[in-house]
Amino acid sequence: MLVLGFLISPGILTAQKLTLRLQPALSIPLGDFAAKNLDKGSFATAGFSGGGSLQWHLNTTWSINLQAAATWHAIDIGELGYKKVQQDPFLEDVYIRSEAFKNRMLLAGPVYTILLRDKISINNSVAAGLMQSATPYQLYKPQYFMTGPNYYEITSARDYNFVWGVSTALMYHFNTCYQLGFSAEWLHGNPVFTFTTANGLRFDERKISMLNLAMVFSVSLF
């Protein structure tokens, strides 16, 4: 989660070159990622995001941020099962067990800081990089009106795709070493997943958008 935080005066900003940040966050799926339809939706629910970053300060205004993060979003299996039953007239009910939808990413980009007061700063940043997205492994136990399989599974599929995002953070500087703040970050990617079916390969494009609301813990290394 693109992170953020600067020190409180031009002299200190120049002296402190590298900071380490940890960012646990509430991750909220947006758009098609959260949509509850079988066509383009992923049925993702609010989840968890965790990661960290190293930020190299170029001067009192600009810095470069390198960030690694991962997100986990549970699937709304109740709504997914309901949509499956609606779609198939011979399906009376279905029991589903599902893993979480997982994303891992590595991003880099510039950060621009605005000093508001003696110990408060706002940091705005953009970033782009690589994201590995993995659909959840799912086990289905259907109940059919007539005959049908006792169970079937959908295996996980992975794709590496381009991801980009923007973020902003409000930071409070306790001293020249420690900072604490809150950030909001929007991320977007377009993975294409490959599945093997009885009719051959199927390619499913899924738009992944999320809003990560995080608490930022920052420490200056040198």
Catalogue all structural domains in the chain, each as residue range(s) with its CATH number.
10-220 (2.40.160.20)
Reported as a single tens digit per residue, the pLDDT across 137-151 is 999 999 998 777 788
Cβ atoms of residues 219 and 196 within 8 Å: no
Reported as a single tens digit per residue, the pLDDT across 31-56 is 999 999 998 999 999 999 999 999 99
**What pLDDT is recorded for position 5?**
34
**What pLDDT is recorded for position 4?**
33
pLDDT exceeds cutoff 60 at 134 = yes
The confidence band for 16, taking pLDDT boundaries of 50, 70 and 90, is low
Q: Give percent above pLDDT 90 in the chain.
A: 71
**What pLDDT is recorded for position 8?**
34
Q: CB within 8 A of 199, min separation 6: which ones?
A: none
CA angle 6, 218, 129 (to 5 degrees): 80
**What pLDDT is recorded for position 7?**
31
Cβ atoms of residues 128 and 109 within 8 Å: yes
- Between 150 and 165, the higher pLDDT residue: 165
Q: Between the CA of residue 140 and those of 73, 75, 150, 153, what are the distances in Å?
A: 19, 14, 9, 6
